[in-house]
Amino acid sequence: MTTSAETTPPVDDRPKPPVVDERDIDAEAAQTDGPIDEASRDLLVEGVRTALDGRWRSTRDAVRENSDRADLLPDPSRTLAEARAHTLGVLKELSQQGFASAGFAADHGGTGDVGASITSIEMLGYADLSLMVKAGVQWGLWGGAIENLGTERHHEKYVKGTIDLDVLGCFAMTETGHGSNVQALETHATYDRDTQEFVVHSTTPSARKDYIGGAAEHARFAAVFAQLITGGPGEEATSQGVHCFVVPIRDEDGNDLPGVTTSDDGYKGGLAGVDNGRIMFDHVRIPADNLLNKYADVAADGTYHSPIENPNRRFFTMLGTLIRGRISVAATAGAAARKALTIATRYAMVRKQFEAPDGDDEIVILDYLGHQRKLLPLIAKSYAIAFAQNELTGELHDIGRVADDDSVAGRQRQLESDAAGLKAYATWHASHSVNVSREACGGAGYLDENQISIIRGDIDVFTTFEGDNTVMTQLVAKELLSSYADDVRGLSAGGWVRFIAGMARDVVAEKTAVRQVVQTLLESSDEDTDKSNLTDRATQIRLFRNREDHLVRTCAQRLRRATDDENDPFEVFNDAQDHLLKVGSARTERMVLESFVQAIDECDSRSAQQLLGKVCDLYVYSTLEADLSWFMMHRHISVERAKAIRRGVNDLCQELRPYASVLVDAFGIPEALLAAPMIENG
C-alpha cells in the first residue's frame, strides 16, 4: 500500500495490523489479509453478533424468528388510511403473541422485563418504523404513563386492556405551542370541588395537543399532560405544575366524545402507518380519579399534596419515569441505521463501476477508498452506539429492580442524562447514515423497492420526537456543569447561569465512578498522550476524556467570568451556547467509547474481540478526525498526529474492507427484512 501522507510524519500513529495469537483457534479469521474460510467466517459472525446482541440476546432471537417475514415491510402503495389500518392490524397480531407483556410489572398483568421490552421494540425497527412507533406509543408511552405515573386503580383499570389492545391510548404531551418546554404547557386541568372532577381545557389555540400518535384515528384514551389547577379550602386555585390525566377522547365507534375535538396531522415526511393528530379540549370533565397520582394527589376538598416538596423536582421525577420512550427511540434509530448500512454495504459489494486494474471487468464500488470512507466509519459508529445502547437498557432494567434509595436517585439522574445524550447522538447518526446509504446506492437507492428511501422518510423525525436533539445535547452539558445539582432543573437559561456562577467549587467532568476496565487501562498507560501511541486504547480514552474535561472546565470558567462582568445572564448563556453543545456531545462520545471498550473486554470470542478492536479503532480515528480542528486548536493533538489520524482512517478502512460483510451480517437483521432487488441486479 502506498502511503497516504503528503509528507512523512515523525511518529507513526497508523493502526497496526492485529496481532494474531497462535493459541487462538479462531485467529486466522481475525487476520486482515487473505481470504477467510467459511467456517471461520461463520464463527466470527456469531462471535461478533453475540457481543452485539448483549444481555437480551434471547429476546432478539425470538423477535428475529417471528419477524423474518417480508410482509412486515412497509408498502408504499398503501393509502394513508390503508397504512394506518395495516399497522394497527400488525400491532394486534403482536399483542396476541404476548409481545407487550414484558413492559408491565407482574402484578399488573405483565412479566416485568423492561430490558426485554425495549429490546423487542427496537427489533421492530428492522421491519417497519411505523410499527415500532405505533407499538412505542401504545405500550411504551401511553402504557408507560399508566404504569409509572398511575397507582393501583389505574393499573387495574387499564394495564390488561393496554396489553391486549382493548384500550388504545395516546400520549398527549406536546402542544402546538410547546414541545421542548413542557413546563409551559397551556392545557389546564382545573379541579372542581363540587363535582370532584377535573375540567380539562385547551386555554389557547396554541394549547392544542399536536403531533400525537394515535390521536388522528385509533386512540380512545389519552394521557394528557396539563397544568393541575387547584387550591385547598380558602386558598386561591393555582397551578401546581404539569401533571398527567387519563382523558377518554373517543367512543367505541371512534367518534369524538363531547368537548373533545380531534383532527388529523395528515401527510408527513414518513411514518405513514402512524395516525398523528391533534386534540382540543373544551371544558371536558373527568373524574378526579383520572389523575395519575403516584407522585401527587388532590384531596376531595381540593388540597394538593405530594411526597416531593419541590415542584421542579416533582415534575422532573415524573418526567424521569418516562425515560423508556427516549431509550427506545434511540435504540430503534440504531437499528434503522444498521439496516440501511447493511443494504448499502451489500449493494456496494455487488455493484460494479469503471474498470478494474486488469481491464477485463469493472470494480465493485466498495473497493474504492472513497466508498469505504462513506460506509465503514458509519458501521464502526453503529457498533459503538449499539454497545452504549445495550448498557443504557441494562441500567434502566436494573434500576427498576433495586430498592428506591438515594443511590438509585443518583443512578436515575445519570441515566436520564446519558439517555438524553445518546438519544441525540444515535438519532443524528441514524439520519446521517441513512442519507449516506441512500446516496451510496445511487438511483437504485431512491426506489422504494430497495427500502432505504422509505427508511429515510421514516427516520427523519427521530431527531425531533422524544426530545429535540439540540435540547437533549444541551441538557447533558447543563447537568454536567451543574454537577447534577438537585434544584437546577427547570431553571431558565439565565437562572441556570446564575446558579453556575454561584457554585463554589470547580466542576469536574466525571461524577460517576470510573468503570473498572477503563481504570485499569488508564493506570497502566502514560498520562502524556503525546508520548503514547494513538493505537493504545488508553491513549484513545484519555483523548476523549481530556477533551470533555477541557470543555467542561473552560465552559464553566467562561460562564463565571461573564457573569462577574454583570452581563445579562441570558446573553451570557446564549453567547456560550455553541460551547455548551460541544460539552454535551463530547460527554456523550466519551461515554459511547467507554461502553465499546467494556463490550470488547467482555467479548467471549477471541477472534470477535480482535475484529471489534479494529472496529473500535476506526470509531476512534474517524471520531477524532471529525473534530480534529478542536483537538489541534486546543493543542491536544499535534499537526503530525492529526495527519496520522487522517491516514489511519484510510488504513483502517482498507483493513476492514474484507470484513465488511462479516460486520453487517453480525448485525443479525432478519434476511426477509433486507429485501432489495438492486442487490440481485448488481
Interface with its own copies includes 575 (CB under 8 A)?
yes
Q: Looking at beta carbons only, is 48 or 580 nearer to its own copies?
A: 580
* Residues in 112-151 at the binding interface with its own copies, rule: CB under 8 A: none
Q: Shortest gap between Cβ of 650 and its own copies (angstroms)?
A: 6
* Residue among 42, 46, 289, 367 that touches its own copies (CB under 8 A): 367
CB-CB neighbours of 252 under 10 Å: 6
Q: What is the DSSP letter of 36?
A: -
Q: Looking at beta carbons only, is 86 or 154 nearer to its own copies?
A: 86
340 CB-near residues (< 8 Å, 6+ apart)? 433, 434, 437, 438, 451, 452, 455, 456
Q: Looking at beta carbons only, is 46 or 468 nearer to its own copies?
A: 468
Which residue carries 447514515 as its cell?
Answer: 433
Q: Looking at beta carbons only, is 233 or 359 nearer to its own copies?
A: 359
Cell numbers given for 516: 473498572
d(CA 88, CA 94): 10
CB 174 within 8 A of CB 211: yes
Closest CA to 126 of 88, 70, 47, 86: 70
- Which residue(s) pair with 239 in the sheet? 229
CB 416 within 8 A of CB 399: no
Interface with its own copies includes 204 (CB under 8 A)?
no
Cell numbers given for 342: 447493511
Q: In a 10 Å sphere around its CB, with 0-12 CB exposed, 13-18 middle and 19+ buried, how is residue 136 labelled?
A: buried
CB-CB neighbours of 403 under 10 Å: 6
Interface with its own copies includes 633 (CB under 8 A)?
yes
Q: Looking at beta carbons only, is 353 or 512 nearer to its own copies?
A: 353
Q: Looking at beta carbons only, is 52 or 653 nearer to its own copies?
A: 653
* Residues in 168-187 at the binding interface with its own copies, rule: CB under 8 A: 174, 176-181, 184
Q: Shortest gap between Cβ of 648 and its own copies (angstroms)?
A: 12
Q: Shortest gap between Cβ of 366 and its own copies (angstroms)?
A: 12
Residue 528: phi and psi, rounded to 5, are -85, 105
Q: What character string, x for contact with its own copies (CB under 8 A) and - otherwise, covers 51-80? A: -------------------------xx-xx
Interface with its own copies includes 554 (CB under 8 A)?
yes
State the angle between helix axes of 516-523 and 537-564 in degrees (0 to 180), rounded to the nearest 10.
100
Give the interface size with its own copies as a residue count (CB under 8 A).
Answer: 102
Helix, strand or coil for residue 478?
Answer: helix
Which amino acid would we find at residue 536? D
Q: Shortest gap between Cβ of 277 and its own copies (angstroms)?
A: 11
* Residue among 632, 658, 661, 672 that touches its own copies (CB under 8 A): 632
* Residue among 359, 502, 504, 513 that touches its own copies (CB under 8 A): 359
Q: Looking at beta carbons only, is 318 or 576 nearer to its own copies?
A: 576
Interface with its own copies includes 682 (CB under 8 A)?
yes
Helix, strand or coil for residue 262?
Answer: strand
Strand 221-230 relative to strand 187-192: parallel, antiparallel, unpaired? parallel
Interface with its own copies includes 442 (CB under 8 A)?
yes
Q: Looking at beta carbons only, is 353 or 407 nearer to its own copies?
A: 353
Q: Looking at beta carbons only, is 138 or 427 nearer to its own copies?
A: 427
Q: Shortest gap between Cβ of 525 and its own copies (angstroms)?
A: 25
443 CB-near residues (< 8 Å, 6+ apart)? none
Which amino acid would we find at residue 335? A
* Residue among 25, 39, 106, 356 that touches its own copies (CB under 8 A): 356
* Residues in 238-277 at the binding interface with its own copies, rule: CB under 8 A: 265-270
Q: Looking at beta carbons only, is 110 or 136 nearer to its own copies?
A: 136
H or E segment and range at residue 120: helix 114-124
State the angle between helix axes of 323-350 and 406-440 in degrees (0 to 180), rounded to the nearest 10.
30
Interface with its own copies includes 588 (CB under 8 A)?
no
Closest CA to 287 of 275, 305, 300, 274: 300
* Residues in 98-117 at the binding interface with its own copies, rule: CB under 8 A: none
Choices 57-65, 239-247, 352-360, 412-420 (CB under 8 A): range interacting with its own copies: 352-360
* Residues in 459-518 at the binding interface with its own copies, rule: CB under 8 A: 460-461, 463-465, 468-470, 474, 492-494
Q: Shortest gap between Cβ of 177 and its own copies (angstroms)?
A: 7
* Residues in 18-37 at the binding interface with its own copies, rule: CB under 8 A: none
d(CA 230, CA 198): 9
* Distances 215 to 23, 187, 255, 279, 328 between C-alpha atoms, Å: 60, 16, 12, 7, 21
Q: Shortest gap between Cβ of 128 and its own copies (angstroms)?
A: 15
HSE value, Cβ hemisphere, 13 Å, CA-based, for 518: 21
Interface with its own copies includes 377 (CB under 8 A)?
no
d(CA 260, CA 272): 24
Interface with its own copies includes 232 (CB under 8 A)?
no
Strand 187-192 relative to strand 197-202: parallel, antiparallel, unpaired? antiparallel
H runs (alpha helix) in 282-368: 311-320, 323-350
H or E segment and range at residue 521: helix 516-523
Interface with its own copies includes 369 (CB under 8 A)?
yes
Interface with its own copies includes 597 (CB under 8 A)?
no
Q: Looking at beta carbons only, is 4 or 66 nearer to its own copies?
A: 4
Q: What character string, x for contact with its own copies (CB under 8 A) and - otherwise, covers 393-432? A: --------------------------------------x-
Interface with its own copies includes 86 (CB under 8 A)?
no
Interface with its own copies includes 8 (CB under 8 A)?
no
Cell numbers given for 239: 397551578
Q: Looking at beta carbons only, is 358 or 523 nearer to its own copies?
A: 358
Q: Looking at beta carbons only, is 41 or 373 nearer to its own copies?
A: 373
Q: What is the dihedral of CA 624, 628, 634, 638, to 10 degrees?
A: 90
Q: Shortest gap between Cβ of 548 and its own copies (angstroms)?
A: 14
Interface with its own copies includes 12 (CB under 8 A)?
no
Interface with its own copies includes 287 (CB under 8 A)?
no
Interface with its own copies includes 581 (CB under 8 A)?
yes
d(CA 122, CA 389): 11
Interface with its own copies includes 362 (CB under 8 A)?
yes
* Residues in 609-628 at the binding interface with its own copies, rule: CB under 8 A: 625, 628
Q: Shortest gap between Cβ of 633 and its own copies (angstroms)?
A: 5
Closest CA to 213 of 269, 177, 173: 173
Interface with its own copies includes 311 (CB under 8 A)?
no
Q: Shortest gap between Cβ of 227 and its own copies (angstroms)?
A: 16
d(CA 475, CA 224): 24
Q: Looking at beta carbons only, is 159 or 576 nearer to its own copies?
A: 576
Which amino acid would we find at residue 557? Q
Strand 352-355 relative to strand 362-364: parallel, antiparallel, unpaired? antiparallel
Interface with its own copies includes 642 (CB under 8 A)?
yes
665-679 b/e with 16+ CB inside 10 Å = b?
A: bbbbbbeebbebebb
Cell numbers given for 664: 453487517
Q: Shortest gap between Cβ of 628 and its own copies (angstroms)?
A: 4
* Residue among 17, 35, 98, 205 that touches its own copies (CB under 8 A): 205
Q: Shortest gap between Cβ of 557 and its own copies (angstroms)?
A: 8
